[in-house]
């Protein structure tokens, strides 16, 4: 009797949670689709940048947050995506949509080739190897002049003309599309059999193998997915920025930024990296405005404080708060059922 009432109460709660999530998702989608109509060109650029970094942080989350492999050198795939798009559009004359998809696939294919040897390394060694990879690809881009124009770089055609808002709009929607696809993939990872394999590898790779998980293949697929979305973001970025060279396309500062964002938001969660990207970008803008001369120092201080105060990231903090709230809510109702 008591059990039946309790479980129906819990089912009711679950239904409410699911419908609340659905309403929230639809509202968010509408806001994101209409956002360009309300923002100035300046804020539209910042928002597009948030979408790009959220994608990079989320893609990094697949290999680092879920699988436990700190792939700081993901900038290599960002650059490969950017260059692949630039070459496909300017030299092969491909249409934009096909070029974007192919650029993502090029980054994924590149990852599949270099992934097998590098994924044999673990921990710091893996992290350093990926950084070396990024530097190597940058040098390659600078020296393969016949393909990449070397240090001169490649100029790309613009997609739109007119006011600053109109110019930025197509890139905003493209970035949004890439981010949504990346989040959908991460969500799938978080609930699927494949994702359980990745989380087992993160916890203990040897044990994971003993449970029947093909660790080599799982790690490789995780990194290839990560590289694919990173490459897509690089491709859209190249279109948006209209000029790429080795220095800007393989910029390790980008890696610092997306990894800080993912860490702040919460690794191994779907919402975390997106929230982290939003927080860091807004913080950067606010601090930049308020402390013009020393904004980098203040930003660094803010990030240190956040990491110290919430080591599990934003999502952990939210989960803890939610758990406390649920406990407080659950207590009186449990008492009621006893009567």
Tokens of 43: 């804020």
**Nearest-angstrom CA–CA distance, 235 and 226:** 14
202 binds another protein, rule: CB under 8 A: yes
10 binds another protein, rule: CB under 8 A: no
215 binds another protein, rule: CB under 8 A: yes
- The helix (run of H) or strand (run of E) holding residue 244 is strand 243-244
Provide the minimum distance between the beta carbon of 268 and another protein in the complex, in angstroms, as a whole number: 6
String of DSSP letters for 244-296 = E-HHHHT-HHHHHHHHHHHHHH-TT-SSHHHHHHHHHHHHHHHHHHH-TTTHH
Of 90-98, 207-215, 250-258, 323-331, which part binds another protein (CB under 8 A)?
207-215
The answer to whether residues 81 and 231 touch, using CB atoms and an 8 Å cutoff, is yes
Among 213, 239, 244, 275, binds another protein (CB under 8 A): 213
203 binds another protein, rule: CB under 8 A: yes
212 binds another protein, rule: CB under 8 A: yes
Number of residues that bind another protein (CB under 8 A): 21
Is residue 154 classed as helix, strand or coil in its secondary structure? strand
196 binds another protein, rule: CB under 8 A: yes
Range 97-136, binding another protein (CB under 8 A): none
Provide the minimum distance between the beta carbon of 320 and another protein in the complex, in angstroms, as a whole number: 12
3 binds another protein, rule: CB under 8 A: no
The answer to whether residues 231 and 88 touch, using CB atoms and an 8 Å cutoff, is no
173 binds another protein, rule: CB under 8 A: no
330 binds another protein, rule: CB under 8 A: no
Distant-in-sequence, close-in-space partners of 280: CB < 8 Å, separation ≥ 6: 53, 257, 260, 261, 264, 303
Provide the minimum distance between the beta carbon of 216 and another protein in the complex, in angstroms, as a whole number: 8
């Amino acid at each position: 009797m008591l059990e039946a009432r309790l479980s129906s109460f819990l089912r009711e709660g679950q239904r409410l949670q699911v419908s609340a999530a659905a309403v929230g998702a639809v509202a968010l989608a509408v806001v994101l689709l209409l956002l360009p109509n309300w923002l100035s060109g300046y804020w539209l650029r910042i928002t597009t940048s948030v979408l790009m970094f959220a994608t990079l942080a989320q893609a990094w989350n697949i290999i680092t947050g879920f699988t436990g492999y700190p792939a700081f050198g993901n900038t290599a795939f960002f650059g490969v995506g950017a260059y692949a798009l630039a070459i496909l559009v300017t030299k092969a004359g491909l249409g934009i949509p096909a070029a974007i998809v192919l650029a993502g696939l090029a980054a994924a294919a590149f990852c599949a080739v270099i992934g097998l040897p590098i994924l044999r390394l673990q921990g710091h060694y893996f992290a350093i190897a990926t950084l070396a990879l990024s530097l190597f690809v940058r040098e390659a881009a600078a020296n393969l002049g016949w393909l990449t124009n070397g240090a001169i770089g490649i100029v790309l055609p613009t997609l739109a003309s007119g006011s600053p808002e109109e110019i930025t709009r197509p890139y905003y929607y493209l970035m949004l599309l890439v981010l949504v696809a990346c989040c959908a993939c991460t969500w799938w990872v978080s609930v699927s059999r494949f994702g359980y394999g990745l989380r087992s590898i993160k916890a203990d790779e040897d044990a994971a193998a003993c449970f029947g998980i093909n660790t080599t293949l799982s790690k490789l697929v995780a990194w290839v997915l990560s590289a694919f979305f990173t490459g897509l973001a690089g491709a859209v970025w190249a279109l948006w920025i209209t000029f790429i060279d080795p220095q800007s396309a393989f910029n390790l500062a980008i890696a610092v930024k997306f990894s800080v964002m993912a860490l702040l938001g919460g690794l191994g969660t779907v919402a975390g990296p997106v929230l982290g990207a939003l927080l860091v970008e807004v913080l950067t803008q606010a601090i930049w405005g308020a402390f013009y001369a020393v904004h980098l120092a203040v930003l660094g201080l803010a990030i240190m404080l956040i990491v110290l105060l919430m080591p599990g990231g934003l999502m952990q903090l939210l989960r803890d708060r939610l758990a406390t709230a649920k406990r407080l809510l659950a207590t009186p109702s449990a008492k009621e059922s006893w009567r």
